[in-house]
Each structure stands twice: as C-alpha cells, then as structure tokens.
Structure 1
C-alpha cells in the first residue's frame, strides 16, 4: 500500500538508487534495483516534486537505459514509460536532452523487448496528451484555466516517429500467432494512438509511405502500407480523409485477392474500419457492388481473413441501415442499399458459420455475430429472408441438441456449449425482427428447444444464461401469449434464480422475471409468492437479485386495465418486504475494507446502482404520474432520510462510477417531486450530495449530465418555493 510505505519512501529510494548507479559492478543487483524502482514509482511523488531529487532519479534511470545488459536496459525503459504516465508535467526538462533520443534509439533496436518499450513510451505520451486535451476542452467550457496542460510532445515528434513505426510495420511474420505481442503489432497500436492524438497533422507524414508501398512487389511493404492506412482512419477530420479513402477503394478491393494471406487479412480489417469510420466511401453507387462481391468471396478465404471479413460485414450493415431513408411515421426503412444482396449475404454467413475450420481465429463466432448485426440492421423488404434465417437457426439448434449424446471429450463439450450459446444469441436477434403473428406460429418449436436445453445444461452456467436471454426475447415478442409456457418453464426459472454460484445466470433470471411481469401483467400473480421466496431464502447472497426484483416490479406497479389506471397488487405485495431491508442494503453497499481489489470495487458499484435503481423504481411506481402524486408513495417517506444518507455515503467514496452518479441524481430528482420541501432540508444538511450533482453536471455522459441537471433544477425549485 503506497500510503503505508510513504513514511519510509526516502530510505527505500536511497537504497534503490544506490543499486542502480552505473558504478554498481553487478548487473543482477542493478536489475533488482531497477525493478524495485519500477514498483516504487507511485509513492515517490514527494521526491519528484523536488527538483534536485527528481534530477538525480532521472539521471540514474537514463544512465540505466544504456546498460549493456538487455534485462537492465528493458527494466530502465519500463521505468521511463511509467514515469511519463505518473509525472508528465515534470518531463519537459528531460525530453529534449535525453528522453527523446533514448526512446527513438530503443524503437530502432533489433531486440524486440527493447523496441517494445520504446514504442510503449510514445503510446503512453499519446494517452496522456489525449487526457489533457479532454481536460483543456472541459476547462474551456467552464471558463477556467486547465489544471495541467499538454506539451504536445507527440505532435512535435511525428516527423521522427512515423518513419520508424511504418518501417517496424514491415517486420511482420507470415505465421504470427495472434496472441504474440511484438514490435510490429505495437507499432500499429502506436500509430492509431498518434492519429487520435494528433488528428489531421499525422496524414502528411503517413500518406507518402502508403502511396509508395501499397503496390510494392514485397508483400511485407504492401501489408505495412494497408495497415498504416487502416491505423489513421480514426482521428483526422473525416472530410480530409474521405477523398483519400474513395481514391483508395479500387486498390483495396483488388488487394482482397492478394496472393499473400497477411495482406488480405489486413485489407479486410481496413475495409471494416472504413465501413465503420467513413461509410460514405463504401456505400456508394460506384464501389458498393464490387466491394460486396470481394467480401463475399473473402468469406471462403483462410479463417483469419474470413473472420475480419465478417467484422467488415457487421460495420457495413450498420452503416447502410443508418444511411437509409426512414419515413416519418416508420421505425425502420422500407428498403436500403443491401436489400438486393441481403439474402445472399445471409446465406454466405450461414455457410461460413458451418465451416469445418470455424473454430480457428474465432471464425464461427465472428460469422454468427455478423449475422446478428445483418439481421438487426435489415430493412422491411428483407423480412422474408429474416423468416428463413429464423427457421435455419431453429433447425441448427435442434441438430446441436441431438448431438449431445455423442459428446466424448472435454474439448467437444466446450465446443458444443459455445455453439449452443451462439445459436441462442442469434435466435434472440432474429426473434426480435419476427412479427407477432409469425412468432406465434414458431413459438412452440422454439420453446421446446429451449426447454430441452435447460434440461440438459444444468451444469453449464454460460449456456443457461444464453437460453434465459432467448426466453426473455420470446416473452418480449409474444407478450401475454407466453402464459401457456409458464408451467413448463417455472422449474427452470427457479433453478436460474437459485444459481448463486454464477450470479450472471441469476441476473438473467431476475431480468426475465421483470419481462414476465410486463408481459403477463396480473397473470403473474400466481407465481409471485414462489419467486419472492426464492429471492429471500438467502439474502446474504441474493441481495443484488432482490434489488433487481424490486426494480423490475417496482417500475410497473401501475398497469393499464380496461382503458383506465389501476394499482397493481404486485407492488403492494412487495412493500412489506422492503421495510425491514434498508440496514441490509446499506451494510452491503457501503465502502468495503478491501477496495484495492478492483473486481470488488466494480461489484460494489454494480450493487449500488442496483440499490439506487430499486428505490427509484419503487418511488416511481408508487408516485404515479408527475402532476398527481399518489398517496401510496408516503409508504416510503420514513425511508427518505436513510436513502439520502446512503447517497451521501456514496458521494464521499472516490471510487463511485459515472453510472452510480446518474442513478443517484435520478433518485434525488424523484425524491424532490415526490416529497417536496422535506427533501430540501435533508439535502442541505449533506453538502457532499451537492458535490455529487456538480460532478454529474460535468460528466461527459449525456444521461448523467441530464439527470444531474434535472435534479439540481428540482432542488432549486424547492428552494425558491421555500
């Protein structure tokens, strides 16, 4: 813990620096000391704040980068990478005389470990300067000077960095393993970061390399040119890139048939990036048809190429759907530019998903994911093909279920479960596009397959979760017609709700309960007691699930009945369960003593969002519409002070997330509209809540900003009335 080590930091640092000095005869001692410094940098801030001490540390680290022992040299460079992130504001003194030359030399090294650290240094510079650009933009909006300013090192170094990075891109290995991290891959990432950081300034530095080598006889240079092109597509102004991309399209289409598998792989990735970033270059009368032709042919290529082609189709479908004309009174376009090729694309993707080598390079999952995107982003005139696809997916699901008895090995079981999960996910997507009357015709077969899956996959949480999500979609499509399946499905819903060991399965089951409440309305009541009992059986484990139940049902305590509004008995069934629980909710969602565990911090914030949404759901459900607050909401009034104390606790914890701030702001606004001036007094007594709302108003997320601004206005309104 850096705080505990702070008191001893000077003594530790003195010993470390002593071991790193160039006079130290043992390289093993130097290496141990250099690694020790790397692990100590977080708590040396006080030393870096003092100029003389900072100079000495930097001198020793820079000298260590010149050590003949590669291990020491790499460790010293790792220190520079980390120092740049932690102490960027102090680096101007050292950048010109030392850091620039050291890192440029490292980038050119033939030793991969050294080159990787040199590249990583400049990637870190880009990360820091992008954060500083955001800070400068926020400061300008608020009319104040930024706390820290960018020195624009990346922009100043472009002319030196780009030639080294593009040359490094030519050092790829034809049989490269996707999981191996090497200078070639690092150079691609660094180029992308430079493009995002330096924007338009990077284009004139990269463009000559692309033009010179995109048709080079050496496949390595062709590949490097295409990779460089793909890397700079995000960052520069689209209008500056658009003519260049349109000009390059015929060459890229041609390169999709290149003799080199590496070039085809990179080209497919670049085309996907173009469809995502600059879709106008792909979706036009000149290039769309030849592009679709070469992509469909690409689906038959090697798995690594075909996998990137699948992703290109996903990007293309989304871009085509967004570019389509939609009538004012319609939710989706009647037709779009992929309509004439839609059925053939779907057929090719289904064939790709069925390839015997589909397990390589994630090809099978890429094909199904692409199919999901294509179906999701389809126009109305593609509906007959969507219907056919639904039947194909159902047929494949049934075939897979029949294969289970033949599974012999663990690897077969893993592939079987993965395929079931993919088919369930694809089924969800196609069902969402199926019209209600058509869904009724196939629902018996779909539900029979899902029930069979539940029966056979009790031990496979992942598959169970996907199957629950598929049922959820079927409920969404069928509405009240799902009631006929409840008796058969209820035991499996219970299994899901009791699966505490795999909380994602539990959450899927709880989410499904909410969908059932919405779809079945009062017909859910016969099942309520049993479901509530399941959630209350082990509150210590299922507090989050109980919260989720409150959210899903609390949000729907008012239902349309016979054209008028009636109070749903569901909400009142739950209110007695709510009353004894605040202390438990608080106990489970205050800061944990082990917040250095990032997973636990994430879980804590997820839990907090659940609690806040639970109270929001209950208050909104009981309150009724905005103008006429229903008296039932007074059942919550004894808990208002507790709720605000809870928000105050969250506000004081620096680890709360943007999502938590949004939920808290929304809840504060609802409390204001429900309980009026009583809330104002309680908020005024808790200044941290005001700080939380200020943080929310400055958020980069629209939802958080909107909710925080609304909550602030509601408080101001109460203050004016008072």
Structure 2
C-alpha cells in the first residue's frame, strides 16, 4: 500500500518543477489533498522517497520540503495543530519516518540538507514531551565517529543547529554536553572540511542560549572559548564570519565571564578583524564592540536603578569599552571614510557599521569619546569628500553620551561648516549633513531658541527638501526634531487649559514648512528612500506639535488633504498596473494617518462641518477597498481615522452610523488581516463610549461578529484579547440592556479564565499575553459591574436591586481576581494590579463585609501591598483605596441579607 502510494507520489513530485504552470498547480493541489486525506501514508511516503538514493535529487528535495512543511509552521495555532497531528500517529509509523529521515543524513548530493530540517522538525515536536530522547546522542555520534563521512557530519551538525534555533532552551539543557561535544569536535582546527567547520560554528551560535551551566564551569568554558577563538583564524571567509558572530553572542550572554579572555584573546582578535580588508569580517569585529557597548550601557542603567533603591547591582560593568576606546577610535574613524562612489543608501556597509559602533561607544563612555574623536573632526573642512563625510558622521555619532555643556561649544563651532556642506556636490555628504542636523537638535534642544542659528538653519533645510530623496528624507526627520523641540520649549513656558502654548519660535515659518512638505508628497520620485512616507510623517508631527496661533494653517491643511484624497481616489480608479495601484493604496493610508492628526487638533466648533467632509472621504476609501479587495494597510488606517473622529465628535457621530456600519462589520469579520479586525474592534469601543445607549440598535450584529472572531483559528490572539475587553465597554455603555448578552459573555469569560495561565515562565511572550488576557477579563467584569451599579446610590431600594443583579457575577469576578493576585510563577503587571484593585474596591463598596470571605485572603492582600508600593501612581492610589475600603468593611461589619454569589444564567 505504502509503496504504491509512494510511486504515485513520486510522479506528482516530479511535476512540482514542471515548466507547465498547470502541471505545477495540479501537483501542489494533489499534495495538499494527500496531506489532509491520509496524513499517515503521506508522511511515510515522503520520508521513503527522501531516503531513496536512486530517486533524482530534485525529487528527494521536493519530498523533504513537503515533509518539513507538514511538520512545522511559524503560525502558533497551525504549529500546535501540526504537533498534535504528528503525535497522534501510532508509534511504529512515527518510528519509521524518523528512521528514514535519519538514514537520509549524509546521503544527499546537494547542500544544505533538507533531511536535516526534517529531523529537526520531528525533534522539536517530540523532545519537549520526552519522546525521541536518543536523537541528540545519535547526531553527536554521527559527528564524532571517525568513520563518518563529510556529508554525514555536516548534515548532523546542521540538524543540531536547527534544533537549537527552534526549540525552547530548557528542553536541551540536560543534553547540552552532547551537543557541545559534537559542535566542538566539528569546529576543531584539525577538521579538514570547511563545510563541517562552518556547520559546527553556526550550530554553536544557536546553542549558546542553553549552555549557561557549561559556561559557569571554568574548564568547559575554556574549551569553548579556545575553539571559538581558534575558528576566527580560519582562512575561509564564511567560517571566520560565523566564528566572530559567535564571539558577539558569547559576550552578550556571558559578559561576566569574559575577564580571563578579553585582553589576551578577544581584544586582539576583534581589532585584527576590524582592520581586515574583507568588509564582512571588519563589520563583525565592529559588531563585537557594539555588543560590548550595549551590554555596558544596560549595566550602567541597572547600576543607577540599584543606587536609587540603595541596593548593590546584581551585575557590574568591567568598563571594557572605556579601556578600548583610545585603540578602537582611530581604526573605526578610518573605516568610516571607506566609501565607494556608488554606495547605495540602503546597503549596510563598513562605514555605517563603524558609525554605529562609534555612536554606541559615545553613549557608553560619555565625555571620554570626545578626546579620541576631536582630532578627526578637522576633516569636516577636507576637500576629500570621503573624509569630509566621515568627519560629519563622527560628529553626529558622538552627540549622544557626553555632557551637554561640553557639546554646545563643539556644535556652535561646527554649525556654519555643516550648513555650508548642504551645498556639497556629493549626495553622500549632503545626506549625512541632513542626518547630523537632526541629531544636533535632538542632542542640544536649546539651539531652537538661538535666532541666529535658526536664520541659517531653516534655509538649509528648505534647500535640502528639494534635493535627492535620501537627503530630503533625512531633512524631513530633522524638521520633526526641530518642531517637537520648539513645541516642548514653548510648552515649558506655559499653556492654557487646552494644554497648548499660544505660540512658538517657528510660528512665522510654520505655514511655509507645511507647504514645502506637501510639495514633497507630490514628488514623482517620492517612493525612493521612503521619502513620501517621511514627508507625511513630518506633516503629522508638525500638526501634532502646532501652537494655537498656527491653527489657521491646520484648517487649511485639512482642506488640502481632502482634495489630495479625492485626487488619489480618481487616480486609483484609472490605474491599471498592480504597482501603481499599490503605491496609490499606500498614499491613501498615509492620508488617513494625516487626517487623524488634523482631527485631533481641530477645535470643537469646527469639527461638525469638517467632520462631514472627512467622514465622506473615509467612506469613499473604505468603499473602494471593499470593492477591489486590495487593502494593504489602508482599511486599518481608515478605521483608526474613524475612531479619532468618533472620539472628537462624541454623540455627534450618530448620523454616520448607518453609512459606516457595512464597513465596520466587514472589518470585524476580517480574520485574515488581524490589524484590520483590531482597528474595527477599536471603533466599536469608541462608539460605545461616544454613543452610549444609542449604540444598542446596532449591537446584535456587532456582538455576533465579535463572538465569531473569538472562535476563528486565523485571528491573532492579541486581537482576541482586545475583543474580550470590548465587552466591558459595551456593558458600561448600555447598562441594564446588556442583560441580553450576559449569558454568552459570561461563558466567554469563563473559557478565557481557563486559558489565562502561564505554562512556561521562561516564555516572555506568553507571560505578556496571559497578563493582558487577565487584564481584559477583569476590565470586562468591571464594565459589567459599572453598567449594573445603582443609578442612585442614596436610594436603598435602588442599591438593593443592583446588589442582587451584580451578585450573579460577583463569584466569578472574585475567583478571577484571586487568580490574578497570584505571584507565582510570575507576578501581575502594574496595569493588571490597578484593574484588579479597582474591581476589589468596587465590590467591597457595594457589598461591604458580605464579600470579604471571597476577597480578604493572603493572595489579595499581598497583591494590594505590592500595588501600594508600585512604580506608577495609578497602581499605588487604586491599591491604597481598595485596601482602605476593605479595612472599613471589616471595622463596620455591615449588616444585611446574605447574598448568593454564584453565577446563574
């Protein structure tokens, strides 16, 4: 049976590379159906074809690819489904497949090994559950056995690398010795095969996460470091680069152990690398020191935090970067001048890597950087454009780190030369000058108050906006820095009740700046260097940071944006090529984002009239998107713009509900594009807050779609958290009318409570997700509570009625609160503590001592104590209030009828 199926599958696999598109389609359709109809036979046949050396190479590769894709997936839910499907196979069938893929290692004529990926996929599925415990040992033996051939050793090391990359570190900790034995054996200088050494070096890079125990053992650490350092001296470029990458990863993970190796090994190796004529090698040497700087910057921040708490820091800096600064700077600065005339702006290069390293060094060593860089800055006046550009970049790179008082004289001295350089014939120089001007403003914001500087600064930026896209894009960024800084400076001097300053230093040129940026958005080359995006982002920031005396410009900008929107919609209708349509969709998204800024800035009295035009434009965009089926991020931005309009118009948005509703419902049902669905859920939340009970006529369809979205396997889980939270907003908005949805929502909350637990305390993503899910559940309970609370808290009958109504939910609420108060395995975030504390206080205020048996326990009290000492004022104040209410209830011993706190549908 299997052999017959394999023979048929073999012919299908041959057609996957056919020149006939129809043959390819039929083959792929057959493969998809075969994997679904009989997964067991499918994977057995694929593994058999993969193993059979008599099959053509491309067919074996195709079989291996199909097998790997049937076992592994990036999407979390699909990955889980594939895992369960594989583990549900009988043991003998899984054993057969594993035997076939293992036997394939070393027999493939091509690189890289597809069998290695298949073995890794199965190992990653089985090892976490304790299955296939001998696979690591088998792979190690393949590498260390003197009888093993080059291809077997190489593919086995590739497999180990894949496994180390894709599996949770803790799963492999017990087998770290076997893995490192294989890797070290493959990396030895005695190994004659470059392919084996490269596979071993890449595997080392992936294995470092779970070798902490080995690094804590001096003898083992010395062996690893010796072989890692020796491998950097390989004559093969790929091996050398991979080994240097490994050193960067080692210093990142095990910085505290590097004292014994830094001076005698790591420093000379990396200095030699930076001096290399091979750019890939030089950049990895720079990456090592950039990593050292990043680690030491983090350690400095930890030390400051520890000092604030009068504690000793857990880890201390060895200040390697400060010691290396004087030796590194001259080499890095020379590298910054290594340009080719045709350097592409988007390409990562030696000069850019050197600039980043100098920038991180400046942040790390502070004032020390200046004495090492100052001699190089005289090249700003050089006639050699490469050195001129490098000196300007070096100047920009050291502006974040040293004391501002020491930077200001340097900036004042350099500014005239920088501004003159905006006329330099080389685009690379002008591009770097534009970047440097933005850095100057960020580093020394006081410069915006110097009128003489602005008089020369602003014309230079205006000129830059008309230059090449890469220059103009950096000028847009510089303008953003300038306007933000000017606005913050004006705000610091005083604002009115709206929080806006009356004027700022750029008011006279604000209108022309907006006009110039709008011109940039119309440039025919605006798609290069992300210029059009940069211009729109600058427009948004200018509007967001505009003072009151620039309001007329904001009004005019609204009209201009609406006209541009109309033009783009007409252009889209006439566009024929996919590329043109894609660009126009991107433009629509940018315009929607700009309209969001405009709406937020408009005055209340102008909004109704402008809002109608804005809403009509947004509806046109959504209508076009619905018809064409092409959304990119247009629908998301349009819905976010609608949300902004709802926030500002409040109940005045009601006339647009019927027009909006079809597109809102479409967005809520869009499970393929989670961002669109999430934006639609955000609109629902804003509608509830704005319209309150006026939203009721539209809710049945909305709630039905929200519930359906929660069941969708395709929808991102973070959007599902957002949906759960939205039920609280609905309950708060419609109050007693939420009764029609209570039963189903309580069932949803119950299911969510069951899922809201941390199974792996080392998985930071899972911790954040569970915390946000719990916060959403409690927020919804809070919304239900607030929506059901007594309308008149002085009316005893009204209060009694509310107490009885809410009592149905109080039990599940308290159960969830207690769960959220648990400190193990991970304590709740401050946001979650605030939400939990608020609900605790609400319940105690309403029920007094009657609720205390459910809430007055060690878990709740410990959480409230932690909240009262929290970092955020909200956590402290809400936890303090809840604790106070509990004490009042305990002291008062409020009398009243006993309430049944169990949920009844």
User: TM-score normalised to the size of structure 2?
Assistant: 0.72
CA gap 1:419/1:588 in 2 versus in 1, 3 angstroms: farther
Deviation at 1:283, TM superposition (A): 3.5
CA gap 1:440/1:611 in 2 versus in 1, 3 angstroms: same
Deviation at 1:551, TM superposition (A): 4.0
CA gap 1:624/1:250 in 2 versus in 1, 3 angstroms: farther
Separation in 2, partners of 1:602, 1:390:
39
Deviates more, 1:683-692 or 1:17-26: 683-692
Q: What's the secondary structure of 2:451's corresponding residue?
A: coil
CA contact 1:313–1:370 (8 Å) conserved in 2: yes
Deviation at 1:714, TM superposition (A): 4.8
Q: What's the secondary structure of 2:191's corresponding residue?
A: coil
Q: In the alignment, is residue 172 of structure 1 matched against residue 342 of structure 2?
A: no
The aligned counterpart of 1:401 is 569
Q: In the alignment, is residue 549 of structure 1 matched against residue 715 of structure 2?
A: no
Q: In the alignment, is residue 512 of structure 1 matched against residue 678 of structure 2?
A: no
Given the alignment, which residue of 254, 258, 265 partners 1:98?
265
Separation in 1, partners of 2:529, 2:850:
60
Q: In the alignment, is residue 641 of structure 1 matched against residue 814 of structure 2?
A: yes
Q: In the alignment, is residue 469 of structure 1 matched against residue 635 of structure 2?
A: no
Separation in 2, partners of 1:277, 1:555:
46
Deviation at 1:476, TM superposition (A): 2.7
CA gap 1:574/1:197 in 2 versus in 1, 3 angstroms: farther
Map residues 542-581 of structure 1 onto 2, 5 A cutoff.
543-554=720-731, 556=733, 568-569=735-736, 575-581=742-748
Query: How many pairs were matched up?
Result: 700
The aligned counterpart of 1:561 is none
Q: In the alignment, is residue 122 of structure 1 matched against residue 299 of structure 2?
A: no
Larger radius of gyration: 2
User: Deviation digits for residues 26-74 of structure 1, max 9, x if unmatched?
Assistant: 3333333322322222222222211122122212222222222222222
CA contact 1:21–1:64 (8 Å) conserved in 2: yes
CA gap 1:679/1:353 in 2 versus in 1, 3 angstroms: farther
Q: What's the secondary structure of 1:96's corresponding residue?
A: helix
Deviation at 1:93, TM superposition (A): 0.9
Given the alignment, which residue of 842, 848, 853 partners 1:674?
842
Given the alignment, which residue of 588, 602, 625 partners 1:434?
602
Separation in 2, partners of 1:227, 1:268:
10
The aligned counterpart of 2:151 is none
Separation in 1, partners of 2:861, 2:522:
55
User: Deviation digits for residues 142-188 of structure 1, max 9, x if unmatched?
Assistant: 33322221111111111111111111111133432344222211112
The aligned counterpart of 1:151 is 318
CA contact 1:350–1:367 (8 Å) conserved in 2: yes
Q: In the alignment, is residue 423 of structure 1 matched against residue 596 of structure 2?
A: no
Separation in 2, partners of 1:502, 1:603:
19
The aligned counterpart of 1:562 is none
The aligned counterpart of 2:422 is 256
Q: In the alignment, is residue 36 of structure 1 matched against residue 203 of structure 2?
A: yes
Given the alignment, which residue of 439, 443, 456 partners 2:611?
443
Q: In the alignment, is residue 345 of structure 1 matched against residue 513 of structure 2?
A: yes
Q: In the alignment, is residue 247 of structure 1 matched against residue 424 of structure 2?
A: no
Separation in 2, partners of 1:315, 1:227:
18
Deviation at 1:679, TM superposition (A): 7.7
User: Deviation digits for residues 597-639 of structure 1, max 9, x if unmatched?
Assistant: x8777665654443344344444555689x9997465554212
Deviates more, 1:129-138 or 1:672-681: 672-681
The aligned counterpart of 1:367 is 535
Separation in 2, partners of 1:272, 1:624:
56
CA gap 1:33/1:451 in 2 versus in 1, 3 angstroms: closer
Separation in 2, partners of 1:241, 1:366:
28
Separation in 2, partners of 1:58, 1:692:
48
Given the alignment, which residue of 641, 657, 662 partners 1:486?
657
CA contact 2:274–2:283 (8 Å) conserved in 1: yes
Map residues 131-142 of structure 1 onto 2, 5 A cutoff.
131-142=298-309
CA contact 1:619–1:670 (8 Å) conserved in 2: no
Deviation at 1:259, TM superposition (A): 1.6
Deviation at 1:266, TM superposition (A): 0.8
Runs (5+) with no aligned partner, structure 2: 1-166, 713-718, 891-905
Q: What's the secondary structure of 2:381's corresponding residue?
A: coil
Q: In the alignment, is residue 357 of structure 1 matched against residue 525 of structure 2?
A: yes
Deviation at 1:7, TM superposition (A): 2.7
CA gap 1:537/1:67 in 2 versus in 1, 3 angstroms: closer
Deviation at 1:359, TM superposition (A): 0.6
CA contact 1:226–1:270 (8 Å) conserved in 2: yes
User: Deviation digits for residues 520-579 of structure 1, max 9, x if unmatched?
Assistant: 23322222233223223443237435323224335556xxxxxxxxxx445556544433
User: Deviation digits for residues 446-504 of structure 1, max 9, x if unmatched?
Assistant: 22222221111022342111111222222233332222222222222111122222222
The aligned counterpart of 1:453 is 621
Q: What's the secondary structure of 1:110's corresponding residue?
A: coil
Deviation at 1:277, TM superposition (A): 2.8
User: Deviation digits for residues 412-438 of structure 1, max 9, x if unmatched?
Assistant: 121011011011111111122222332
Deviation at 1:594, TM superposition (A): 12
Q: What's the secondary structure of 1:457's corresponding residue?
A: helix
The aligned counterpart of 2:457 is 291
CA gap 1:89/1:555 in 2 versus in 1, 3 angstroms: farther
Runs (5+) with no aligned partner, structure 1: 558-567
CA gap 1:695/1:716 in 2 versus in 1, 3 angstroms: closer
Q: What's the secondary structure of 1:440's corresponding residue?
A: helix
The aligned counterpart of 1:565 is none
Map residues 548-697 of structure 1 onto 2, 5 A cutoff.
548-554=725-731, 556=733, 568-569=735-736, 575-591=742-758, 606-619=772-785, 631=803, 634-648=807-821, 651-653=823-825, 661-676=829-844, 690=862, 694=866
The aligned counterpart of 1:70 is 237
CA contact 1:666–1:708 (8 Å) conserved in 2: yes
Separation in 2, partners of 1:692, 1:161:
51
Deviation at 1:116, TM superposition (A): 1.4
User: Deviation digits for residues 292-348 of structure 1, max 9, x if unmatched?
Assistant: 111111110000000010111111111111111434545212221111111111111
Separation in 1, partners of 2:192, 2:867:
53
Q: What's the secondary structure of 1:581's corresponding residue?
A: helix
Separation in 1, partners of 2:660, 2:174:
61
Deviates more, 1:257-266 or 1:270-279: 270-279
Map residues 187-202 of structure 1 onto 2, 5 A cutoff.
187-202=354-369
CA contact 1:510–1:548 (8 Å) conserved in 2: no
Given the alignment, which residue of 203, 210, 220 partners 2:386?
220
CA gap 1:528/1:22 in 2 versus in 1, 3 angstroms: closer
CA contact 1:214–1:223 (8 Å) conserved in 2: yes
User: TM-score normalised to the size of structure 1?
Assistant: 0.89
Separation in 1, partners of 2:362, 2:741:
54
Deviation at 1:225, TM superposition (A): 1.1
Separation in 2, partners of 1:231, 1:570:
60
Q: What's the secondary structure of 1:336's corresponding residue?
A: coil
Q: What's the secondary structure of 1:495's corresponding residue?
A: helix
Q: What's the secondary structure of 1:197's corresponding residue?
A: helix
The aligned counterpart of 2:440 is 274
Q: What's the secondary structure of 1:25's corresponding residue?
A: coil
